[in-house]
Structure 1
Amino acid sequence: MSTAPKKSKKKKPNQRALPLKAILVAGLGLLVLVVVLLWSSLFKSYPVEGKKQMLAIGTGDTYSGFIDRLAKEKQVSFPIILKLYQKFIINDTLKAGVYEIHQGMSVREVMDLISNSENAQMNRILVIEGTSFKQLIDALNADPLVTHEIGKLPYEQILKELNIPYSHPEGLFAPNTYFFAKGETDRKILKDLYLRQVKALDRAWENRATGLPYKDKYEALIMASIIEKETSVDSELQQVSGVFVRRLQQGMRLQTDPTVIYGMGDNYKGNITRQDLRTPTAYNTYTINGLPPTPIALPSQKAIEAAMHPDSSDNVYFVATGNGGHKFTSNLQDHNRAVQEYLSVIRAKN
């Protein structure tokens, strides 16, 4: 009796080995991904110009805004990692002030640094739009946290010390909240404020509207300072600019009170008389044609932009309403009516 040969059983492949290998490969890949993410965000070097620099954090600044700025400047590749780190590890808010950042510090180290108010240097100079260079210098000279080097020199000498190619300092320094380290020199503070203003002016000049009656960007800065002094309402800046630009284009005198006040200097006691309007000075735009020789205040970036982009109306007059803001008109008859309305409001209040 013959028996059929037994079929040999084939060994099944090790079903456990393949999944284990796949898990190891996947785990290794995930680890590599995590390392890449962490390096590209948390452990990447924070960009520092030179060996160290000061990082200013203003009141109201947020970690989200700080991280978004780093991402926009392509300093980090995965901002979500930083935001998760801030939320779950730091779990705190930014502290306003100035921080000293050293070359070689990682983004994580900087984030940790600016979350601790003990690391902050809270010194600051507040330069308000429309104030004068004299007020800025007086504030610097009175600040005990500033190292005084040049602030008490004559203005012309200050400009020479800062290598500024102008003969008059007015308008050349940006009105900003300026954070600085304790002991910072007035030389450094003034130079930084000057560079900020130059940058704002250059950018606005490059993008200016066509047909403006300025010979150069310095004349535009002069106009910006007048606009700054004429209104504190941001929505009116371009309208005021439009009035003065059209007056220049039509050969009209600017006839703006702030220039008269600036030209009076220390003789101004709070009121302008008719005699003041008739008294010639280099800045009295009731007696001179065109622009005054220099700015009359420190104009903000908004005022500079307005000087470069006047409105397109035909208004050449404006007067205060008495209730905030101004009434703009295109002819003398309407202007005189607006003046009478203003006087009625003032009489009613008194």
Structure 2
Amino acid sequence: MKWLTRLVLAAFLLAVVWLSWVVFVPIEPPATPYTITVGPSRTLSQVATSLKQEGVVRSRGVMVLLARLQGTDRRIKAGQYRFNGSISLWGILQRFAEGNPDEASATVVEGWTFRQFRNLLDQHPDVTHDTAGLSDGEILARIGASEPHPEGLFFPSTYYFTPGSSDLDIYRRAYVTMQRKLAEAWQGRNSTLPVSSPYQLLTLASLVEKETARPQDRTMIAAVFVNRLNKSMRLQTDPAVIYGMGDAYHGNITKADLRRDTPYNTYTRNGLTPTPIALPGSAALAAAAHPAASDVLYFVARGDGSSYFSQTLDQHNDAVRKYILKKGN
């Protein structure tokens, strides 16, 4: 039986040597400095998979197991972690466990309102809250914005920053980014669009953003709005009505809501809304600047995330019966 004991002992020692090699022996990263990005919704398991694919760790499974044993998988903070020179799996986990990324991050989602953006920064633990107590207008003034209303002026993206940075710096970056993106869309727009300023294009893009997140439908939604504007037809878009309702909206929109006049009720007022209704992303800006070449005037939700487009009111009514009232074939 001694040979069996020796065999087990040898296997155990080999396992210890292998594990030590996997965990503690550094690896030269593909670039120096090497940056590991942990997104706000990215799990440590996903990070480990990426690191294994890039050859920065030798075993994804060992990394995940150690992270769970340490509790690092529950404490990891979003941000960017920079490493200079060779790095070990243990060194990576220790950096994650410390919870001090070289750059923290804040993700602004396409279609969010400015209020949601502000709530994000107000509650962010790595931000210095210099805007506490300021009105929206005061924030705009502090970042050098000339517009009186904040909606739509900030580009939705993930912003990385040094922990302790002022929220004003993040607002300023998001504002400047949107100004650049909007200028590019305006410069390359279809010259026949019924909008007279970049701000109107931004407003149109926000309506497109809120009506669909489906890439195939964005340019068609834009075409509906553009065609209606050209024909002096009311836009009749529910997200604008909901925006105008403010805190009175509780998840359902009624016929009375559609009849109640507000500056944002596109059932009672002609033309675009007075301001954007959300923060549009690049795809919505592109769709607003280049609508599909179509004479559609109506659309209705199919119930699967897509929309059905019609050229006439009769076609639209048929679509409503089929997809909304469920009376069609």
Q: C-alpha distance in 2, partners of 1:152/1:227?
A: 32
Q: C-alpha distance in 2, partners of 1:120/1:220?
A: 38
Q: C-alpha distance in 1, partners of 2:128/2:242?
A: 32
Is the CA contact (8 Å cut-off) linking 1:171 and 1:225 kept in structure 2? Answer: yes
**Paired position in structure 1 for 2:267:** 286
**Paired position in structure 2 for 1:223:** 204
Q: 1:171 aligns with which of 147, 152, 168?
A: 152
C-alpha change, 1:347 and 1:265, in structure 2 (3 Å) is farther
C-alpha change, 1:56 and 1:154, in structure 2 (3 Å) is farther
SS at match of 2:324: helix
Is the CA contact (8 Å cut-off) linking 2:81 and 2:102 kept in structure 1? Answer: yes
Q: C-alpha distance in 2, partners of 1:112/1:302?
A: 39
Shift of 1:234: 1.4
Shift of 1:229: 0.4
C-alpha change, 1:111 and 1:58, in structure 2 (3 Å) is farther
- TM-score w.r.t. structure 1 length? 0.68
Is the CA contact (8 Å cut-off) linking 2:321 and 2:328 kept in structure 1? Answer: no
Q: C-alpha distance in 2, partners of 1:233/1:297?
A: 17
Shift of 1:111: 7.5
Q: C-alpha distance in 2, partners of 1:58/1:172?
A: 27
Q: C-alpha distance in 2, partners of 1:128/1:272?
A: 24
Q: 2:187 aligns with which of 206, 230, 252?
A: 206
User: After alignment, is 170-179 or 307-316 more displaced?
Assistant: 170-179
Q: C-alpha distance in 2, partners of 1:127/1:190?
A: 11
**Paired position in structure 2 for 1:65:** none
**Paired position in structure 2 for 1:52:** none
**Paired position in structure 2 for 1:328:** 309
C-alpha change, 1:91 and 1:276, in structure 2 (3 Å) is closer
Shift of 1:151: 4.4
C-alpha change, 1:172 and 1:112, in structure 2 (3 Å) is farther
Which runs of 5 or more residues in structure 1 are unaligned? 1-41, 47-54, 63-85, 101-108
Q: Percent identity?
A: 42
Q: C-alpha distance in 2, partners of 1:214/1:111?
A: 53
Is the CA contact (8 Å cut-off) linking 2:321 and 2:327 kept in structure 1? Answer: no
C-alpha change, 1:220 and 1:346, in structure 2 (3 Å) is farther
How many residue pairs get matched? 265
| Equivalences for residues 27-176 of structure 1 within 5 A | 57=37, 97-98=79-80, 117=92, 118=95, 120-121=101-102, 123-176=104-157
Is the CA contact (8 Å cut-off) linking 1:56 and 1:179 kept in structure 2? Answer: no
Shift of 1:98: 3.1
Q: Structure 1 runs of 4+ off > 2 angstroms?
A: 55-60, 90-93, 96-100, 109-113, 115-123, 343-348
Q: C-alpha distance in 1, partners of 2:122/2:190?
A: 39
Is the CA contact (8 Å cut-off) linking 2:81 and 2:103 kept in structure 1? Answer: no
Shift of 1:273: 1.2
Shift of 1:196: 1.2
| Equivalences for residues 212-291 of structure 1 within 5 A | 212-291=193-272
**Paired position in structure 2 for 1:296:** 277
C-alpha change, 1:171 and 1:247, in structure 2 (3 Å) is same
Shift of 1:237: 0.6
The one-letter code matched in structure 2 to 1:216 is: S
Shift of 1:310: 0.2
1:265-293 per-position Cα deviation (integer Å, ceiling 9, x unaligned): 11111111111111111111111110011
SS at match of 1:232: coil
- TM-score w.r.t. structure 2 length? 0.72
Is the CA contact (8 Å cut-off) linking 1:253 and 1:289 kept in structure 2? Answer: yes
1:239-271 per-position Cα deviation (integer Å, ceiling 9, x unaligned): 100000110011101010011011111111111
SS at match of 1:178: strand
Superposition RMSD in Å: 3.2
SS at match of 2:190: coil
**Paired position in structure 1 for 2:51:** none
Q: C-alpha distance in 2, partners of 1:324/1:184?
A: 39
Q: C-alpha distance in 2, partners of 1:246/1:112?
A: 59
Is the CA contact (8 Å cut-off) linking 1:280 and 1:287 kept in structure 2? Answer: yes
C-alpha change, 1:347 and 1:204, in structure 2 (3 Å) is same
1:128-152 per-position Cα deviation (integer Å, ceiling 9, x unaligned): 1111000111111111211000143
Shift of 1:197: 1.1
Shift of 1:120: 3.9
SS at match of 2:128: coil
Q: 1:318 aligns with which of 299, 309, 313?
A: 299
C-alpha change, 1:307 and 1:110, in structure 2 (3 Å) is farther
Q: C-alpha distance in 1, partners of 2:85/2:275?
A: 44
Shift of 1:298: 0.6
Shift of 1:191: 0.6
Q: C-alpha distance in 1, partners of 2:148/2:263?
A: 15
